Structure 1
């Protein structure tokens, strides 16, 4: 592996450490900081230092996000600078928060690791995603009232309609139903899970999926339209259409105006963050599919049942290995660690925006725009029953 820059301190390094592209000095610093009893304190007091190497707290947090972002599982490295070897079955070879023995090792970030079946998971997810979208498209076009003046049109000539509260309620139910079909088709293990665990995965995934899919579709279809968000396959919200989102005739004008104002703030804030993450990374179709898998199984630091944790680690490991093989086949093996680091940072952006969504939805609830039966609001609560 040629010299590359450490993702934390930007010094040259020939090897990845702790599963990510960081130098040996950052690895040693992280391990020592992780084991210390006295907590680190940010020099600036903000926990957001731009030059992280000058602040122990921010340096540690950045490394921690990179390491834990790939599953919270880490191989205990040897003292040498050798690349990772094949997985070992020894109990002491892997570390997990609760010393679980059934957690498989996370994917290697050093390129060149061969696979028995290349891209099989990507191919399965692509087929499942395309099939899901056929169902979504048919259901949306048959359920939503057609508009007399469609604003935009896809290259395959079906109209895009400005979203309203009524259309969002309908399309979100369609999305949740088809996500169950997608998961069953894409991940064979999903069928054997309990209904509780299935529903947990879908609820945990749907918001990241909603943001990720929209950002990728805008990037590929309408890259020059600012403040634009796909609310579903066939509906959208833009800066111009935000004021028409509140389609309930008996609402006071100031409520309608407040709704549009909050939507515009969302378009300029979280929507733009997700869009920038996809655009700046120039995400390809295969990388988008990989992101679907990573977001679906991103269950660490949640209230997920213990049985879901090893499944999540296993699927993330598989897809990261497939990405490595893809980059190697495309002649980008020397940059694959950096590229995978970029992909993992997108997962963090999507999860951050998803975590902030309940508060934004609560604002609509307080404005009496959403009620307890609004689908997207219910998904942040416990009362909605799975569509099975």
Structure 2
């Protein structure tokens, strides 16, 4: 393999001329919007301005830290910081793509087809394995408790099918570089799994919190007492951490999820809206906090993300007006955006837990596709 000397030179050159972003304090090597700010903050400011969005302060006093490494980023204070240093953007909105098919209908069709394919593959594997405990369910459909022997293969099935779903529903991303496609897809599959898991749990078990859906046909019994763990190295520690992770994620997500009472159409909309947070947050490896980081995505990538989001929101407004009969629907849209934001927080928790899990068991030595997804 030929070394990329140009890239090495570029990295050395960046280090020699880097300045601090005036908004989030990360190192940046060039100006954006005429000021010393990083690309992530410039993109954030432009998106807020062009879409005329308004964010409240998370704490209510407009004094949240915006520096990299602070606690969970407050978008309201981040935008106010941009304004206070004199940032301006008066550019035009990006041209929108012409949709030939309803994106929400496409999400519905593709997600159902993907789920059925996953279900068939999982059942075939579980029946062959023969050691899964079947869970009782009023409908008598086949549901099983997750088993250590097959969880990696089930995860692989999910990754493959999610990629197919993503490319069929969001074809515009094919015009981006492979690196950008991988970044967007990797982040999307993580949050998509969270949305699907809670939606499927509610569909199967209602408000019961004992079982959490992990895949098309497997669940975790959070109340189960595991015996014989003393025979496995660090067994009790892993179960304890997994249970704590599940409880913390449920504490964050379930209250707003249950309060929102989203219907099927809103669920499909949420499956698209979770794309919109790309490049604004990153997992902190030592805690569940999030950091503001310099985005790795181009302006073209952000423009595509914005167009999909706008298309979904416009379809939702038509649905609220014409099919639900609502004149005022800001609360329902606000619930979806709040769900979107808390899902990004859950993504951070999930990645921290998965890194712990893979470190304990070293399970991804040969599973390169899974390793690339999480790291």
Closer/same/farther in 2, CA of residues 344 and 239 from structure 1, 3 Å limit? same
Which residue matches 1:57? 63
Partner of 2:196: 213
Kept in 2: contact 1:162–1:241 (CA 8 A): no
Name the SS for the 1:334 alignment partner. coil
Assess, with a 3 A threshold, how the Cα gap between structure 1 residues 310 and 237 changes in structure 2: closer, same or farther: same
Answering whether residue 235 of structure 2 is matched by residue 256 of structure 1, we say yes
CA contact (8 A) 1:227 1:268 kept: no
1:220/1:230 CA distance change after superposition, 3 Å: same
Taking the aligned partners of 1:97 and 1:202, their CA distance within structure 2 comes to: 31
Distance 2:194 2:225 in 1: 17
Equivalent residue runs for 1:95-134 within 5 Å: 103=94, 120-134=102-116
Q: Which has the higher contact order (CA 8 A, sep 6+)?
A: 1
Asked if 1:265 is matched to 2:265, the reply is: no
Unaligned runs of 5+ in 2: 1-50, 281-294
TM-score (norm. length: structure 1): 0.65
2:179 pairs with 1:186: no
- 1:19-63, Cα deviation, whole Å (9 max, x unpaired): 45x7xxxx9xx8xxxxxxxxxxxxxxxx964xx2xx2326x9999
How far 1:331 moved relative to its partner? 4.8
**1:63 and 1:265, CA in 2 relative to 1: closer, same or farther beyond 3 A?**
closer
In structure 2, the CA distance between the partners of 1:235 and 1:263, relative to structure 1 (3 Å rule), is: same
Give the 3-state SS of the residue equivalent to 2:340 in structure 1: helix
How big is the shift at 1:277?
A: 2.7
Residue equivalent to 2:160: 177
In the alignment, which residue of structure 1 is the partner of 2:265?
286
In 1, the alpha carbon distance for the partners of 2:148 and 2:178 equals 29
Aligned to 1:309: 302
Which has the higher mean CA deviation after the structures are superposed, 350-359 or 315-324? Answer: 350-359
For residues 195-238 of structure 1, the C-alpha deviation after alignment (integer angstroms, 9 at most, x for no partner) is 33332222111111111111112222212322432111111112
Instruction: Check conservation: 1:211, 1:271, Cα contact below 8 A.
Output: no
Q: From the superposition, tell whether residues 193 and 184 of structure 1 become closer, same or farther in structure 2 (CA, over 3 Å).
A: same
Instruction: Decide whether aligned partners of structure 1 residues 150 and 232 sit closer, same or farther in structure 2, where only a CA change above 3 A counts.
Output: same
Query: How far has the Cα of 1:362 moved from its partner?
Result: 2.4
Residue in structure 2 matched with residue 9 of structure 1 by the alignment: none
Contact 1:165 1:245 (8 Å CA) reproduced: no
